[in-house]
Amino acid sequence: MNLALKDIQHNLGRFSLTAIGIGMLLMIVMGMGGIYRGIVEDATLLVDRVDADLWVVQRETRGPFAELSRVPPSLVHRVAAVPGVQSSREFVYHTIQRERDGQPLRMAILGLDWPIDRGEWLPLSAGRPIAQGHYEMVADQSLGLRLGDQIVLGKDSYTVVGITESMISASGDGIAAFSIDDAQAVQFDTPGEAIRLERAAREARGESFELTVRQPDVLENVWKPTAELPAVARPQISAVLVKLSPASSLADIKDIIAGWGDVSVFTQEGQRELLLRGTVDRARRQIGLFRVLLTVIAAIIMALILYTLTLDKIHSIALLKLIGASNAVILGMILQQALILGCVGYAIAYLAGHQVFPVFPRRVILATGDLIQLGIVVIAISIASSFLGIWKALKVSPNEALT
């Protein structure tokens, strides 16, 4: 016969309500840890998935995720020429917010260096990677788009050909992958009126150039789309991704590229660091403080409940002492109740969390390590919270059973 369990059975209503309350608190503690893990995972997910050895970005920037980075597309060729570089490709990345069916649609746009990169590395849950250089997109399921959906961005309409799972930007927006040309078209989409005005301005400028005076045919070029103008550079890209050949040294090549005056270069680990040390770090501390507070509150509630449970059976405790129960028996009873309360609360937190967390807008990742850590914390606060009750119980004199 276990005295702790018998008493719990006798006070089942109160005990269950307390356990549920503690469970809910622990669920929030658990969830906040999971949200932090989610943020970290989301922040670094793209960097990890893209899997480049080096990221070449605009000089002195911490791009392309932590801030804006602009590099010329020709940088790809410059980088490719460095000995030891196996391949280099363009990387375009920016976030847009548009409307769709009256709802805001925020998406992070990722440009794939078609046709070298068709997005085979994307974690597809349905559909296929991009199969043509234009008008196709692979969307994350968090964007709420379905296979075959058409969405209009800028002047063109794009068809969803693939759906990914958990491709989220550092700020929590779903990622949509396009070919780089499309990604840039979306980004640098200019309204017709702006283009007409720009052409008129070009014409006006062109008329005063010596070249156009001597060769009036050149003026016709101003009517062409910007992208077809031979003299006008292509839109800039966000970064260049570098894959090294197996034998080459990461540090050496990084040094070579870092020596160029117009770019900065980061390793994959460096990119992760940039993301984690920035906004994520503040979120981590914020969430960490909340977790500590909630854990303390849970401990206080447990201590109070265990204390009142002990007060309620102070007569029984005195009687047990009277008939010869040792302090170990009494202490064990209260400690067991504390641990049972903690464990049941933890189980409720875990089970309820698994139901609730998936409907959260951002990812909640319950990592095994975090769960074990919280479990240890729960055991610790269970033990600590039983001290008040144990202290009270040990003070009781067996005489009190007679009054």
Q: Which two tokens stand for residue 380?
A: 């610790």
Question: Which of 158-166, 272-280, 320-328, 365-373 is the region at the interface with another protein (rule: CB under 8 A)?
Answer: 320-328
Q: Which stretch binds another protein (CB under 8 A): 4-12, 57-65, 194-202, 254-262?
A: 4-12
- Quick one: which segment of 5-13, 20-28, 276-284, 335-343 binds another protein (CB under 8 A)? 5-13
Q: From residue 277 to residue 316, what is the string marking binding to another protein with x (rule CB under 8 A)?
A: ------------------------------------x--x
Distance, in Å, from the CA atom of 226 to the CA atom of 235, rounded to the nearest integer, reads: 9
Q: Does 18 bind another protein (CB under 8 A)?
A: no
Number of residues that bind another protein (CB under 8 A): 22
Residues 145-174 that bind another protein (CB under 8 A): none
Residue 57's nearest CA partner among 46, 71, 44, 47 is 71
**What is the per-residue DSSP string for 303-361?**
HHHHHHHHHHTHHHHHHHHHTT--HHHHHHHHHHHHHHHHHHHHHHHHHHHHHHGGGSS
Scanning residues 206 to 225, which ones bind another protein (CB under 8 A)?
none
Is residue 375 a contact point for another protein (CB under 8 A)?
no
Interacting residues of 50 by C-beta distance below 8 A, sequence separation 6+: 91, 121, 241
Q: Does 328 help bind another protein (rule: CB under 8 A)?
A: no
Pick the binder of another protein from 230, 324, 358, 369 (CB under 8 A). Answer: 324
Return the DSSP state at 67: S
Q: In whole angstroms, give the CA distance from residue 284 to residue 18.
A: 29
Distance in angstroms (rounded) separating the CA atoms of residues 60 and 46:
22
Residues 383-402 that bind another protein (CB under 8 A): 398-399, 401-402
Question: Closest CB to another protein among 322 and 379?
Answer: 322
Span of 9-17, 39-47, 254-262, 336-344 interacting with another protein by CB under 8 A: 9-17
Q: Choose the stretch contacting another protein; rule: CB under 8 A; options: 3-11, 139-147, 259-267, 289-297.
A: 3-11
The smaller minimum CB distance to another protein, of residues 251 and 323, is found at 323
- 20 touches 346 (CB < 8 A): no
Binding-site string for another protein from residue 329 to residue 368, where x marks contact by CB under 8 A and - marks none? x---------------------------------------
Distance separating alpha carbons of residues 143 and 180, to the nearest angstrom: 20
Minimal CA–CA distance to 66: which of 278, 270, 269? 278
> Which C-beta is closer to another protein: that of 7 or that of 182?
7
> Is the Cβ of residue 9 or residue 190 nearer to another protein in the bound state?
9
Residues forming contacts to another protein in the complex (CB under 8 A) are: 1, 3, 6-7, 9-11, 313, 316, 319-326, 329, 398-399, 401-402
